[in-house]
Amino acid sequence: MGKPLVAFLTGAGISTDSGIPDYRGPSGLWTRNPEHEKLVTYSYYMADAQIRRQSWQMRRDLWTAGVVPNAAHRAIAELESSGVAAVRVLTQNIDGLHQDAGLPSRKVLELHGTSRFVTCVSCGSRGPVAEVFARLDAGETDPACLPCGGILKTATVMFGEALDASVLSEAAAIAKACIVMFAVGTSLQVYPAAGLVDLAVDAGARLVIVNASPTPYDEMAAEVVREPIGTALPRLLRELAVA
């Protein structure tokens, strides 16, 4: 018999202890400034050079903040390395902190892409985001694609863009196969990512929600934890490991 599959659906809340603000929480970026959402909305980004300049500066500021994985990221990686369970992470985050914590990249599905690479919307060329930040440091404010002059964006799924169908299909298969799904630091208001919870529960998985605020799925959960994620998730996974 194979190892039990434990899936984690993670959102912005798991990275707040690393210094990355969430979006919809009490002190979230969009709670404090609803206009901030335009910086990650495709239609605004494509139509307005000023929005692009602000978006690049926001990402540049995060890049230089020196964020590192926190206790919650490390707890998931430690569960995977312990061999107790097969672990898969389905993350809405674009920060790469699950991989930095030691989780193999092949076990992390980045539903909304990654901020560590950029892509051209015209020719599709792709490269490290660090190269664009170097151009920002050199004085460019809205760096264009060097091969074709097109608009560059991070390799993330902005609002108004569709998720990668192959990534979503793989995530759905994991949701249907897991015996436990932890929904961690996510409002469960963004679809189709939130719909993975339905797939897991419908297939018989136990749902555990660890989030500061109520979610639309709380009544469906076997357990809802409102404690700080950095302390709650390591405790829950220690209990899982000895169960």
DSSP 155-174: EE--BTSPPPHHHHHHHHHH
- The tens digit of pLDDT for each residue in 96-137 reads 999 999 999 999 999 999 999 999 999 999 999 999 999 999
Of 13-27, 110-124, 140-154, 192-206, which gets the smallest average pLDDT?
13-27
One domain for residues 103 and 119: no
Residues 201 and 94 in one domain: yes
Kindly state whether residues 83 and 4 are assigned to the same domain: yes
Same domain, 174 and 77: yes
Residue at token pair 């220690």: 238
> Percent of the chain beyond pLDDT 90?
79
Residue 198 sits in which domain range? 1-20+70-112+162-243
Active site members: 112
Interstrand relation of 86-91 and 108-110 (parallel, antiparallel or unpaired): parallel
Query: Does the pLDDT at position 24 exceed 90?
Result: no
Task: Indicate the pLDDT class of residue 59, thresholds 50, 70 and 90.
Answer: confident
Same domain, 149 and 233: no
Residues 80 and 59 in one domain: no
Instruction: Give 128 or 35, the one with higher predicted confidence.
Output: 128
DSSP per residue over 194-233, as a string?
THHHHHHHHTTPEEEEE-SS--TTGGG-SEEE-S-HHHHH
- Where is the domain boundary, 124, 156, 188? 156
Structural domain total, the chain: 2
In this predicted structure, what is the pLDDT of residue 174? 98
Regarding whether 139 and 94 lie in a shared domain, the answer is no
pLDDT averaged over every residue in the chain:
91
Q: Mean of the pLDDT values across residues 129-154?
A: 95
Same domain for 8 and 79, yes or no, is yes
The helix/strand/coil state of 82 is: helix
| 170 shares a domain with 55 | no
CATH code where residue 96 lies: 3.40.50.1220
Q: In this predicted model, which residue has the larger pLDDT, 21 or 83?
A: 83
Res. 31 pLDDT band, cuts 50 70 90: low
17-21, 176-180, 219-223: range with lowest mean pLDDT = 17-21
CA atoms of 109 and 171, how far apart (whole Å): 7
Do 144 and 47 lie in one domain? The reply is yes
Average pLDDT over residues 53-66: 84
Q: Round to the nearest angstrom and report the end-to-end CA distance of the chain.
A: 17
Tell me the backbone φ, ψ of residue 108, rounded to 5 degrees: -120, 120
Q: Alpha carbon of 96 to those of 54, 89, 112, 168, 232: distances in Å? A: 22, 12, 11, 18, 21
Q: State the sign of the Cα–Cα–Cα–Cα dihedral 214, 172, 102, 92.
A: negative
CB 110 within 8 A of CB 94: yes
Pair 11, 29 in one domain: no
DSSP conformation class of 146: T
The CATH number for 149's domain is 3.30.1600.10
Residue 55 CA to residue 166 CA, distance in Å, equals 27
Q: Determine the pLDDT at residue 1.
A: 41
Residues 99 and 166 in one domain: yes
- CB–CB of 215/183 below 8 Å? yes
Cα–Cα distances in Å, from 80 out to 7, 37, 64, 87, 153? 11, 34, 29, 5, 32
C-alpha 225/C-alpha 213 separation (Å) is 10
Judging by DSSP bridges, how do beta strands 206-210 and 223-225 pair with one another? parallel
